[in-house]
C-alpha cells in the first residue's frame, strides 16, 4: 500500500521533546473502504501499520483500557 501522498498528523499526546511519537493518516483502500495508517514519526520512510476503521477503533479502545489499568 503506497502511503506517500497521505497527510500525516502527529499524535496530540506526543510532546515536543518526546521520542515516543506516532503519526496517523487516513488512506483509501479497495476504492470504497478507508484505512487508518500509523507510523513512527522518527522513521517516516519505515513501515506503517494499516487498520480498517473497525480495527483502529478496537486497537485504540484496547490501548485506552490498558492505560486506565496502569494509572
Q: pLDDT digit string (tens) for 34-52?
A: 788 898 888 888 898 989 8
Q: Is residue 3 part of a domain?
A: no
Rg (C-alpha) for the chain, rounded Å, is: 13
Cα end-to-end span (Å), the chain:
37
Give the mean model confidence (pLDDT) for residues 27-35.
64
Q: How many domains, in total, are found in the chain? A: 1
- Mean local confidence (pLDDT), 7-16: 75
Residue 66 lies in a domain: yes
Q: What is the pLDDT of residue 4?
A: 62
Q: Is residue 48, in this structure, part of any structural domain at all?
A: yes
* Domain-located, residue 2: no
Mean pLDDT taken over the chain = 77
The pLDDT of residue 28? 65
Q: Is residue 4 part of a domain?
A: no
Mean pLDDT of 11-38: 73
Q: Which domain holds residue 33?
A: 9-70
Residue 34 lies in a domain: yes
Look at residues 8, 12, 60, 65 and name the one whose alpha carbon lies nearest to residue 37.
Answer: 8
In the predicted model, what is the mean pLDDT of residues 10-31?
A: 72
| Torsion of the alpha carbons at 17, 53, 7 and 22, rounded to the nearest 10 | 20
CA 25/CA 38 separation, integer angstroms? 7
Amino acid at each position: 500500500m503506497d502511503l506517500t501522498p497521505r497527510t500525516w498528523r502527529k499524535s496530540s499526546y506526543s510532546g515536543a521533546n518526546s521520542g515516543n511519537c506516532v503519526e496517523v493518516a487516513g488512506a483509501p483502500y479497495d476504492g470504497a473502504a478507508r484505512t487508518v495508517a500509523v507510523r513512527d514519526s522518527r522513521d517516516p520512510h519505515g513501515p506503517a501499520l494499516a487498520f480498517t476503521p473497525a480495527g483502529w477503533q478496537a486497537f485504540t479502545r484496547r490501548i485506552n483500557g490498558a492505560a486506565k489499568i496502569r494509572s
